[in-house]
Amino acid sequence: MDSPLARIWREFCENRIAVVALAVVVAIAIVALLAPPLGGCSYNRFVGQEEAIKTQWAQVENQLQRRNDLIPNLVETTKGIAQQEQDVFGRIAESRAKMAGATTPEQRIAAANEQSSALARLLVVVENYPQLRSSESFNRLMDELSGTENRISVERMRYNERVQEYNTLRRRFPSNVTASIFGFKEHPLFDAPPAAEQVPRVNFGKPPA
């Protein structure tokens, strides 16, 4: 028959996993409670930053939609003269379809970058058609596209600033404990492809005499 001391030891060993788990939970709770004074971080701060990200993302989407609505007229104007460039037109159509079907920021960013690359390819092709460069309607559309691309660039930069601030806070101790407990997930950055930089920079001025 076990002695009282042996029974106590056996019961402790049998329940040591539960004891350790309880200790971990208590430790995490203590750190979470102390997180605001130690790291200047709190649940409310995460909530506020997420709302700022959502607000700024809405501004990005407004400009992406503006560009998406402009593309059909641009394509139709270009097709009238450059009908043989079906591959380029097909890529643009695919990018618009992906943009329309995107439901998450990650999907929208991927579709927007694909669209930027397709537009950059279109503008390279257009350089081979002097008739387009001298078209008043085409130049008007290009001015609208250039302005939209500039707005996208500005709103993308502001969005990335909000996301970087949030993601940095999320990785720092002790605020990372708060993020883990309450399920604050990392937000994606909107990194534009190198080809996108060509879109607003293409010069369609009159060729030299």
With helix as H, strand as E and coil as C, how does 71-114 read? HHHHHHHHHCCCCCCHHHHHHHHHHHHHHHHCCCHHHHHHHHHH
Lowest mean pLDDT among 11-20, 58-67, 88-97, 178-187: 11-20
pTM tops 0.85, yes or no = no
Residue 29: the pLDDT is 60
Largest CA distance in the chain: 110
Confidence of residue 68 (pLDDT cuts 50, 70, 90): very high
Under 8 Å between Cβ of 100 and 71: no
Confidence of residue 83 (pLDDT cuts 50, 70, 90): confident
pLDDT over 60 (residue 38): no
Confidence of residue 39 (pLDDT cuts 50, 70, 90): very low
pLDDT over 90 (residue 84): no
Under 8 Å between Cβ of 111 and 102: yes
Confidence of residue 8 (pLDDT cuts 50, 70, 90): low
**For residues 90 and 71, what is the distance between their CA atoms, to the nearest angstrom?**
12
pLDDT in tens, 117-149: 999 888 888 888 888 878 888 889 989 999 999
**Cα 62–chain centre separation:** 14
Confidence of residue 181 (pLDDT cuts 50, 70, 90): confident
pLDDT in tens, 15-37: 655 555 666 656 666 555 554 44
Confidence of residue 85 (pLDDT cuts 50, 70, 90): confident
